Chains A and B, each alone.
Chain A
Amino acid sequence: MDIEMVRHLSDLGKLTFTDEELEKVAKDMTGIIEIMDTIKEIDISYDPIKDNHNVYLNGLREDRAMDSFPTEKILQNAVNSEKCFVVPKVVE
């Protein structure tokens, strides 16, 4: 896998690498893709109809009001202020 592809995939995954790290990651990913490429040998395609016969919805949940989590519990793991999550400014 070349470094440009790694950069592209890291952008998609919101990850950053130093140039040094990028080289190592590209090398690792090349070895991994070699294994993944073994599936190119077999000529089959996915049949969505077949799967849809096996997919069933367990029944949608009843639409009834229930207690939600208390605000303090939801905020307990985050930077927060006045019962809100604090985030960097995203709107001018």
Chain B
Amino acid sequence: MDITALKIRDMRTMLDKKEISAAELTDAYLDRIDKTDGSLESYITVTADEAKAAAVKAQQVIDDGNAGVLTGIPLAIKDNICTDGIKTTCASRILENFVPPYNATVMEKLNAEGIVMLGKTSMDEFAMGGSTQTSAFKKTKNPYDQNRVPGGSSGGSAAAVGASLCAAALGSDTGGSIRQPASFCGVTGLKPTYGRVSRYGLVAFASSLDQIGPVAKDAHDCAIILNAISGYDYHDGTSAKLDVPDFTAKIGQDIKGIKIAMPKEFYAEGIDSDVREAVENAAKWYEQQGAVIVECSMPSLKYAVAAYYLIASAEASSNLSRYDGIKYGHRSETGDSYSDLVCNSRSEGFGDEVKRRILLGNYALSSGYYDAYYGKAMALKQKIREEYAEIFKGCDVILTPTAPTVAYGINENISDPAKMYQADICTVTVNIASLPAISTTCGYDKNGMPIGMSIIGKHWDEASVIQAADAYEKQFAYQPAKI
């Protein structure tokens, strides 16, 4: 039996019954990473020694009878989440040798649960992208077809889960960066409600949109991880002072009568016919189980990409001002004045996409353009939130494709940044409205590439999106990546 392909819950059972040891499980993954990741390139840093040490500690806890649900479970962590003493690069040359002096809150929580961290996964630089091809270090491939992208920006995490190079992983999502790569790599990824999970220690891209979330083999495993990482954190002023419910509580409950809205603009031209068909078939399946499909509209969807990129880039241009090479990060060898040194450090350290976003952000916020761009984008944010609120008056969850296409070829869109932005149309409104959403696989195209559907929930209702996704997953015929 290939223990690396197991779900977290099944590993838990085997660990607790002593059918496998924590060390065996960790070694199985490290072995597989060794054999497979040379070409897949999902990890920037593999922490083999630390992982083996953590497995020993976890085994002690298991032997003492004190194992929690995640004790000894090997996870991968996206490389924009700070890990004390372990290089955290955000896939950027500007942080190539940056070693954080602290753990992100999510790491503190997971470490307290006794996880085994296998390493830090690749991503688009500073989480800015949808293909992981802007990574300065590892341009991850898709486990289903290594000539295609894994999606992004959490492409390393999604590919690692899809290729069974970890039991599950953490990603981050600002405009779709957990959901879209999950969709491209045939796994399940969840973006929590904004404020559900602390952002302390998550390298900031767009502070009003960023959220950390799980990528796993299914919704139930996502729920297990979400239980562990959620909760109010006094370090993060935007984290919600709400009790954390058990996100697995509604799994298995009857979905009969659940109202599922399908806003028509998400199914218009621009969505590949394979993708549309797969998601509509999923809707039919839900209907057969007694769910009610509700038609509705989101007229502002056509402005969503523009609104998102203006808001996100504006915030990013501010957040990335901290990278000056003075207190950390790449410092140029040239530059006679302070200003020149900072300019050179930034210009040498940042990749092209990051620079474009900084310029766009500055443009949106600059004098004479602020009202027309940033101001208008904020107005659209309000409108989008109102449109979602209106839709949710008549439904429990919303069903959309996760992306307009399946994973595309590695060099296909890279020279056209504007075209790549358009591909985010299905995901960005969820971040703008601060809603929770999960992407799970609902089909495969004629080339066997996974197709993802997204289930969007009301604020704080991760449990319902997990319930709905899980119900579908239980009957879905998965085709694992042949890797």
Contacts and interface: CB of A to CB of B under 8 A. Distances in A.
A59 B236 CA distance: 11
24 contacts: A12-B366, A16-B343, A16-B347, A29-B360, A35-B421, A36-B306, A36-B373, A37-B306, A39-B303, A39-B307, A39-B373, A40-B376, A42-B300, A44-B382, A45-B375, A47-B379, A58-B238, A58-B239, A69-B102, A74-B101, A76-B99, A78-B331, A79-B331, A88-B338
B184 to A, nearest CB: 22
Contacts of A47: 379, 382
Interface string A10-46: 1011111100000001001101111111111110111
A21 B434 CA distance: 37
B380 A44 contact: yes
A58 B307 CA distance: 27
B379 A77 contact: no
Interface of B: 97-99, 101-102, 232, 234, 237-241, 300, 302-303, 305-307, 309-310, 317, 321, 324, 326-329, 331, 335-339, 341-344, 346-347, 350, 355-356, 358-364, 366, 372-373, 375-380, 382-383, 416-418, 421-422
A13 B358 contact: yes
B418 A15 contact: no
A50 interface: yes
Interface of A: 1, 5-6, 8-10, 12-17, 25, 28-29, 31-42, 44-47, 50-51, 57-59, 61, 69, 73-74, 76-79, 85, 87-88, 90
If over half of B's interface residues share one DSSP class (helix, strand or loop), that class is named, otherwise mixed; here it is helix
Given A14-B343, A31-B417, A42-B303, A88 B383 contact: no
A10 B338 CA distance: 16
A32 B421 contact: yes
A44 B356 contact: no
B375 A17 contact: no
B187 to A, nearest CB: 30
